Structure 1
Amino acid sequence: MDHGCYVGDFNMIYRAEDKSNDRLDHRCMRRFRAFIDAVELEDLNLVGRRFTWSSERDQPTLERLDRVFATAGWLQAHPNHILRALSTDCSDHCPLLLMANVVPWAKKRFRFEPHWIKFPGFMEVVELAWSATLLHADPFRILDYKLRNVARALKSWSDKKIGSVRMQLALVREAITTLKNDVYGRGDANTKFFHLMACHRKRRNFIRSLHIHGNEIVSEEGMVDALYHYYDQVLGTIFVPSRRFDLGIIGLPSVDLSSLEVHFTEAEIWAVISEMPNDKSPGPDGFTGLFYKTAWPIIKVDILNAFNAFWARDTRNFNLLNDGYMILLRKKD
């Protein structure tokens, strides 16, 4: 059963949430759950429906009787699978469609790794990549170009000189667990299986489809377009104020704000960068605060140029840096 995939109407459930009422056979559920654990199978996440069978009465009982179970080997060989429930008019069971290899539409993001700064050659790679520039371009386009260039250079350097540290750590943990199992017995030792289960639980949070005005959108391109148009209408609507405040009537004291109009200084910018967390969630460019602190002697001139351009209201191509990610949180069923 190393690379097996098992599909069918099992005519039983192992979770209370797989039935629409509380009339449950707990003994049968425990036995089914114990069998699944014993043979180390994973129940593939179902997209599109919560239940697969209906009693088709006036007040029907709904259950998820049809399932697809897979072994750790199958999950490892098909990490990008999708299981969908389809509609039917000729059966009280809905058919299942399993797509084993769905190519992810989104590109993999760059993320600055904090351990890079500890390896020799890091600053040299950054300096060489940052030295490339664009002629006759505004500061924001130049900064965007250099950040992208450094990202490509660091990724290539890491692949060639360092390799996947996460993979190396996983292999070390696997070796340690194997040694422990040899000494203390098997226990919960099938680490590959449990790592794959964790990865499979992460896939459950992936949005496979959207329901908009009664229509289901399943393609990545369609969901991206639908979300963009929706939030573009919400966030892009110009607000026209219906009332105005006369602050002079309130009698607020006047304050000298001329200091807000002076140029940004290097000391001010560095003070802000120094207070940035080292490894919090990065922006769309993938660089964390640790990168800006470590590479500041190399990148500070272009950073200052961008700030001065902003002060002078020269915001050409500012949109290249002023991006953000909107995360949609999946609602619980």
Structure 2
Amino acid sequence: MGWFRHFLDDVEAKEIPLLGRKYTWSNERSSPTLVRLDRAFCCVDWEDIFPDDVLQSSSLEAVQQNWNAPVSSSCAVERLFLKLQRLSQDLQKWGQRKIGNVKLQLGIAKEILHHLEIARDSRDLSPSEEWLRKKLKLHCLGLASLERTIARLRSRVLYLKEGDANTSFFHRQARYRKKKNFIAKLQVGDQTVADQEDKQEAVLQFYENLLGTAEEREYTIDFAEIGI
């Protein structure tokens, strides 16, 4: 993992911010451990070509189907609680189907790899066995990196190489923050708005309804006339 992190720094790879989700993995316990395992990186040249790139979660369809399913309750608060509870359980199952149990997968891969290496001590492996052994070694490396990611989430620039402290570098950092804070969509009543103008109108209407509008007054005070 240390070599991998140094490699990311050497090639100046940058992480594309994830929109719509904070975490992508749960251990499915009553007090769950929530972490983000899925990450995407891009190089500086690619980011210059696509400065508005974003990364979005693919669980939107699963969430929508779960949320739209009916709930048998006449109390609005209870319906909301039951929907959130059901959604949490279904998202955990969805994550298991998409990612699976990392520890279990790693344990199975290591066990099969161990038997193949024992067999290689006494005979030559067949081409298919040798192919499987190499694939399992790569698979173990990938799963091990996922395990370490659970305990170590990195989201900072560790160091600046010589020549990096220039305008271009900090412009890229500013673009990264802008993309990270970007609001991809807003929920307005029963509708989801994603167009920029529609989002601006939704925010304006929300705060106008929240703060109200000034009413016409019959009388006003001329502060300049009274010396204020």
Shorter-chain TM band = 0.3 to 0.5
Q: TM-score, normalised by structure 2?
A: 0.44
Kindly name which structure, 1 or 2, has the bigger radius of gyration based on alpha carbons: 1
Q: Relative to total residues, which structure has the larger helix share, 1 or 2?
A: 2
Q: TM-score, normalised by structure 1?
A: 0.32
